[in-house]
Amino acid sequence: MNSMYMEQVPEAIEGGKINKNLDDDGRPMRTGTLVTASAHIITAVIGSGVLSLAWAIAQLGWAAGPAVLMAFSFITYFTSTLLADCYRAPDPITGRRNYTYMDVVRAHLGGVKVQLCGIAQYGNLIGVTIGYTITASISMIVLSQIPNFHKLSWLSIVAAVMSFAYSSIGLGLAMAKIAGGGHPRTSLTGVQVGVDVSASEKVWKSFQAIGNIAFAYAYSTDTLRSHPPESKVMKKASLMGVSTTTMFYMLCGCLGYAAFGNNAPGNFLTGFGFYEPFWLIDLANICIAVHLVGAYQVFCQPIFGFVEARCQARWPESKFITSEHTINLPFCGSYNFNFFRLVWRTAYVIVTAVFAMIFPFFNDFLGLIGAASFYPLTVYFPIEMHIAQTKIPKYSFTWIWLKILSWSCLVVSLVAAAGSIQGLAQDLRTYKPFKTMN
C-alpha cells in the first residue's frame, strides 16, 4: 500500500493499527462480491418491463425484434466493461476510486460534461423510482432507510429471485397457451400495415418498441471488495448479469409473441384471458411487487447518497443532518439512525408517490426517459472516458469505430425518443381524468 495514499486517509489508522472496518481509503469496508454485483445488475435490468417485451417483438417482428434485443445486449455489455475500467483513475487497477458516476466523469473528462452526466443520471433515476412507486409505496418508505448501498445485497438477491420467479411463471403460461393451439398470427415484420395498424402507427409503434427495449437495459453497479481488482469482478458480473437478463428477455419476448401474435398485450402476464390456477397468477403479482420494492432501492440509493453528501458538505455543523444515533433492535443488532435521513427519504418516497398518482400514464414518460438516458449513460460517457483513459489517438481505427458506435446509438435513441413523445402525446389527447356526472 502506498504510504502517500495512506497519509491522505488517516482515519483508516487507529492507534497505529489498521481499522478492519474501514477500507484502504478510509471509507466503510466494501462487501460486494461477484454474486451480489450480479444480483444488483439482474435486479436493476430485469424489471417489470420484461413483461412488455412480447408487445415490442410484435411491433418489430421475428426478424428485427430479436436482433434489436441482441444488439442492445452486446452494446450494454461492451460499454459496461469500459465503464468498469474507469472506476479507478488514472489506472484501472491502482488508481484512485471514484464512488459515483459523476465522479468518474469528473476524473476522466471534467468540465461541463460532469453537469450533463448528472442531469441524465439523476433524471433517469428519479423517473424510474416514480414509476416503481405505483406498486408498493409503504414498503419503499421502510426499506429506503437502509443507510448505504452496500447494505442492500440481501435485498437485491431477494429481488433477483423474484425476477426469475414471475418471469418463469409468465413463460410457463405462454408455453401452455402455445401448446393449447390457436396459432395466433405472427410475421417476420410484426404487426401488418392495413390489417393491424396504419402505416404511420406502424412507424411510431416500432420506434416506441425500440425505446422500451432501450429502457429495459438500465444498469447498476455494486460496491465491490478491493481484492480481486474491482474492474475484473465487475466485468464478470456484467457478463453474468447481462447474459442472464438477455436470455430471459429473448424467452419472454419471443414466447410471448408466439403465444399472442400481433395482438400481444402490453403486459403478457395479465393478458392470457384466463386466471386459473388463480393462486399462480397471485403469486406472480406478489413476486412483481417484491421485485419492484427491491429494484426501487437500487435506483434510489444513488439519489439519496448524492443529496445527503451535498447537505453534509453544506451544513457540516448541523446535528440534524450529521448526527448518527444507534438503536439496538431485537435479533437484528445495532442500527444507525439519522433524523435527516428519515425525513428526507420519507419525503422523497411520498413525493414520487404523489407524482405517480397525478400521472397514471407516467410509464409512458419512462420510455422517453429511457430513450434519452440510454445514449449518454450507457454509450457516450463510457466510450469517451475509455478514449481519454487509454489515450486512443484521434482518427485511429479504434477511435473511428468507437465514434461510429456512439453516433449510431445516438440516432437510435433519438428515434426511440420521438416514438415515445408521439405515444405520450396520444395518451394526453385521450386522457380523461374525470367522467362527466349527470
Amino acid at 129: T
Q: Are strands 325-329 and 333-337 parallel, antiparallel or unpaired?
A: antiparallel
Provide the domain count of the chain.
1
Which pLDDT score, from 0 to 100, does residue 231 have?
Answer: 73
Q: Which residue has the cell 455543523?
A: 317
Which pLDDT score, from 0 to 100, does residue 266 have?
Answer: 75
How big is the CA angle at 342 (ends 356 and 318), to the nearest 5 degrees? 125
Please say whether the beta carbons of 104 and 96 come within 8 A.
no
Amino acid at 92: P
Tell me, yes or no, whether 201 lies in a domain. Answer: yes
Which pLDDT score, from 0 to 100, does residue 46 have?
Answer: 63
Tell me, yes or no, whether 12 lies in a domain. Answer: no
Tell me, yes or no, whether 67 lies in a domain. Answer: yes
Report which DSSP code applies to 437: P
Which pLDDT score, from 0 to 100, does residue 227 have?
Answer: 47
| CATH code, domain carrying 330 | 1.20.1740.10
Which pLDDT score, from 0 to 100, does residue 433 have?
Answer: 55
Which pLDDT score, from 0 to 100, does residue 114 have?
Answer: 92
In sequence order, which ranges of 109-225 are alpha helices (DSSP H)? 112-133, 137-143, 153-179, 199-216
Q: What is the CA radius of gyration of the chain?
A: 23
Tell me, yes or no, whether 18 lies in a domain. Answer: no
DSSP string, 400-426: HHHHHHHHHHHHHHHHHHHHHHHHHHH
Tell me, yes or no, whether 15 lies in a domain. Answer: no
Total count of residues recorded for the chain: 438
Tell me, yes or no, whether 25 lies in a domain. Answer: no
The pLDDT tens digits of the residues spanning 138-158 come to 444 744 555 554 555 666 677
Tell me, yes or no, whether 9 lies in a domain. Answer: no
The pLDDT tens digits of the residues spanning 196-235 come to 888 888 988 888 888 878 877 765 444 444 445 677 777 8
Tell me, yes or no, whether 438 lies in a domain. Answer: no
Which pLDDT score, from 0 to 100, does residue 31 have?
Answer: 53
Which pLDDT score, from 0 to 100, does residue 126 have?
Answer: 83
**Which among 437, 350, 382, 53 has a CA at the least distance from the CA of 217?**
53
Tell me, yes or no, if the pTM score tops 0.85: no
Q: Which residue has the cell 448541523?
A: 318
Q: Which residues in the chain show pLDDT less than 70?
A: 1-49, 131-140, 142-156, 218-229, 270-277, 332, 358-367, 431-438
Which pLDDT score, from 0 to 100, does residue 407 have?
Answer: 95
Q: Which domain holds residue 164?
A: 34-430
Which pLDDT score, from 0 to 100, does residue 44 have?
Answer: 60
